[in-house]
Chain A
Amino acid sequence: MRDVKYALRAYSFYDHTGLERYFEKMASKGWMVEKQVYLGWRFRRVEPQELKFSVTYFPKATDFDPMPGEGQQTFWEMCRAAGWRLACAMGSLQVFFSEDPDAVPIETDPLLQIQNIHRSAKRTLWVYALFSAIGLLQLWRMASMLKNPVELFASGTHLYCGIVWVVMLILGCVELFAYYRWRRRALGAAKERGESIPTRGTGRLQTVCLLLTSVCLCLWIISVACHGDRLSGAVLLGYLVGYAVMLWLLNWIKERLKRSGMSAKGNFAVVLAADILFAVLLVSVTLRGAMAAVDRGFFERHKPVKTVEADHWIWNIYADEIPLRVEELTDVDTEGYSYRKDRQGSFFLTRTECRQWAPPVDGSRKPELEYTVVDVHFAPLYQLCLNSILRVDEEDAMLFGISWEQADSAVWGAGAAWQKHYHGEPAGEFVLCYDDKIVELRYDGMDLEDGQLRLIGERLLGHR
C-alpha cells in the first residue's frame, strides 16, 4: 500500500479557503498534505481524521530562505501555542492544522489578513501580468494572421502555440480579475462589517487551461510529425526540452544554495543570473543548432537534385512527385524542368504547393505551371479561406487593375471558379472550388482547351 500520494491540483495563490477545504477533505480520506510539488501536492498516509486546516501567509518568507527565519519560527511557535500544528510551508504560504474544531482561528483580523495576502501576492501577480501581456501580443499576432487564414491554419506550430498563449492570456486576466475582485469585496466586508469573506479561486479554470495546453502540445507534435513544418517544429521542441531542463537546473541550484546556507537575497541573485544566462544560451543554442541543421540540409524535405546557372543566378532543380505536370497538358520538352512540392498542414487544413518551371538557360522561357491545393478539414473555415484567397489589395487593384471575375466552372468540373483579370484582361490564374478543396492555379505559356481544363479539374480537385 502506498504511503505517499501525489495529486495534481492547480490553485489560486490567494485561495486559502479553497485550499483549506481541499486539505480537510484529503485528511478525512487519510492523506495529510506534506509539500507542494510543481503543479500539485504530495500527501502522506495518516489515519483518516476530521481536521481543521488554516492556510495563512507569512510575507517575509520566500522560497529562497535557507531555513525559516527567526520571525517565522516565532510565528509557528505562537500558532502551536494556540493549538495549530504546521503541516507544511512553501515560501510565504503556511499550512496549519488543528484537531480542535473550536481552535481560535489564526487570523482574527480580516484587514490584516488581506494585507498579508496582498504583500505575498505581489510576488505572484507580475507573473500573471506577464502571461497576459505575452498572450495579448500573441493574440494581436494571430489576429493579424487571420487576414491569411490558410497560412495561419496550415501551420500547426503557429496555430497551436498561438492557442497556448491565448489560453495563458485568459488565465492571466481571469486570475488578476478574480484576485482584485475578491480583494475589493473582502476589503469592503472587513471595513464595513469586520468580517472576512471566503476566497474563490480559479483552480478549475487553471486545470482546464493546463489540460488544453497539454492537448494543444500533443496535437502540435502530431501535426508536425504528420504534416511537415519540421524546422519550426524542431526549434520549438528544442525550446520546450531546453526550458524544462532549465527549470530543473534552476530549481537544483536554488535547493543546493539553500542547503549551503546562502542568504535568500544571494540565492535569488545567483538563480536570477543563472536564469538569464540559461535563457540566452537556450535561445542562441537552439537557433544556432537549427541554422546549422538547415545548412546541412536536415530539414530539407526534398533536396535539389542539381543546380543550374542561368541568367546570373544559381537555380535549384527539384524532382518531386507532383500531381499534374506541364507535359500532360501540352507538348513540351521536359529537359531542364524543376518539379517542386511543399506540404504544410494541421488538423484544420492542409496546403500543398506545387510548381513546375525551368530556368531560362538559353534565354527562352518554357511553359510554367503553379498550383496550391488547400484541403479544408474543418468546414467552417472554408468560406474564410476562400474569401482571403479572392481578396485583392486596394493598392494592387489600383496599380494593376486586378480583379477576380466568376468563370465557367463546369468546364473544370468545379463547383465554382474565378479567373483573375488585369485591367479587364483575363489571365491564366484561376481559383477553383470543389467539395472541401480550394485550388489556386496559375499557368503561363500555354493555351489550354476544354479537355485540358477538365484534366486539371480531375487531378487537382479529385473528382471524376
Chain B
Amino acid sequence: MARAKFQTLTEPMFYILLCLKKECCGMEIMERVAQITLGRVSVGPGTLYNLLEQFLETGMIEETRAEGRRRSYCLTEKGYGALDAEYRRLRLMQEDYLRIMEEGKV
C-alpha cells in the first residue's frame, strides 16, 4: 500500500526527498524546502515528521546520524528512484503540454 502511495509524489514529498540528496536533519529540511521554493512551498513539522517516518518505513531514506534527538537522513537508491521517476513524470507532462500548445500555434 505504501509503495502505491509513493508512486506519485506530492509537492512536500518531492521537495523533502530533493533536500535529502545531501545529508540533512529534520529542522534543516524545513528551512531548505522554503529556500529552494522561495517560500512557495512550506512543510510543517507535523507533516515533515510523518513523511520522514513513512519514507524510512518504505526504505526511501535512511538515518545517517543521530546526535541526541537531532537525526540526519539521506536518500537511498530507492529514494533516488522515486525522485527520478517523479521528475520523469513531470517532464513528460511538461513535454505533452508544450507539444499541444505549440500545435495550436502552427
Contact = CB atoms under 8 A, between A and B. Distances in A.
A176 B5 CA distance: 28
Contacts of B44: 82, 104-109
Given A73-B69, A104-B30, A78 B50 contact: no
Nearest to B70: A77
Interface in B28-70: 30, 42-51, 53, 69-70
Interface of B: 10, 12, 26-27, 30, 42-51, 53, 69-71
Given A70-B69, A104-B30, A112-B51, A78 B45 contact: yes
A79 B26 CA distance: 10
Given A74-B69, A108-B12, A56 B46 contact: yes
A357 interface: no
A106 B70 CA distance: 18
A106 B42 CA distance: 10
- Give the interface SS of chain B, mostly helix, strand, loop or mixed: helix
A5 to B, nearest CB: 29
Interface size class, chain A: 20 to 34
A109 B47 contact: yes
B65 to A, nearest CB: 13
Nearest to B28: A81
A115 B51 CA distance: 12
13 contacts: A71-B53, A73-B69, A74-B26, A74-B71, A77-B26, A78-B30, A79-B46, A81-B26, A82-B44, A105-B44, A106-B46, A112-B50, A113-B47
Nearest to B12: A109
B50 A77 contact: no
Given A74-B71, A104-B30, A109-B10, A116 B43 contact: no
A79 B42 CA distance: 14
A81 B30 contact: yes
A31 interface: no
Contacts of A79: 45-46
Contacts of B48: 78
Contacts of A53: none
Contact of A108 (B27, B47, B70, B71): B47
A70 B71 CA distance: 11
Nearest to B34: A104
A81 B47 contact: no
B42 A108 contact: yes
